[in-house]
Amino acid sequence: MKKNDALKKARLNIGLSQEELAEKLGVKQSYIAAIESNKNFSAKKAMEIAEILGIDWRDLTVEDESGDAGDKKVIKPNAVLVGDFDYPRHPDERVVPLMNGKYSVLVPIIPERGYMGIESGWSDREYVDELPKHQAILTHEPAGEYWACEAVGPSMENWTSEEMAKASIRDGEIVTGRNIDKRYWKSRFHLHKYKNFIIVHEDGILVKRIIAHDVENGNITIHSLNPNKQLYPDRVIELREVKKILNIVDPLR
């Protein structure tokens, strides 16, 4: 259940306009409008707003009250989406060629549960432009749609050997992926070229390896590097339940 409508009520109770509240926070009016429309909202900003409005900051956060999941298998997210960038973008967000043939790009960092806005494409450009940036290093000149996320938890960590340690994606590490257009989902993914993927499932974001793609039946098998298979077993996911799939391009492992 989304509770950000409490913000509007509290703001009106003390006679503040969206513009006035935005000025006190040092943000644009469109940011406040986005929050009141139940768009993504960080706990840190909730605390700042609550202090101004004199209310409990927890009344401004988003809570999931999904209730009984029934027979549906609930997938626990293991990543938080933090950004997107597309080209061409603004002139001041240049792609910088590096000496080693790689490219440095700036990725807007979207706080909290950014995947909730993935279908809208973060159309509020003013909101996106206010966000901090993450620097990604790509091996090819960027083209297409990119997103980044922060890996959460140890599911992609394996310290049993030096080779597996190098392949691991650590808890808290930011990874950047390039979107795979849905028309290509009907062909086998290039699993030999890109090993790790960001999978935006309807129940959350996953950073995993894809070890099998059943084109005929429309599903993929995801794999965690963590050797504890009781906690992190391989799992089959139906593609009809997936919003986006991105092959991880930074860091490329």
pLDDT at position 42 over 70: no
pLDDT at position 224 over 60: yes
Own/partner contacts of 88-93, CB < 8 Å, gap of 24 or more, are: 90/129, 93/133
Tokens of 164: 């597996």
**DSSP at 38:** T
Tokens of 220: 């993929």
More confident residue, 72 or 91: 72
Superfamily of domain 79-250: Umud Fragment, subunit A (2.10.109.10)
DSSP reduced 3-state for 241? helix
pLDDT band of residue 61 (cuts 50, 70, 90) is low
Query: Domain segments of the chain: what residues?
Result: 5-60, 79-250
**78: closest CA among 177, 156, 167?**
156
DSSP reduced 3-state for 208? strand
5-60, what's its fold? 434 Repressor (Amino-terminal Domain) (1.10.260)
Please write the tens of the pLDDT for every residue from 166-190.
999 999 888 888 888 888 898 888 8
What pTM did the predictor assign? 0.63
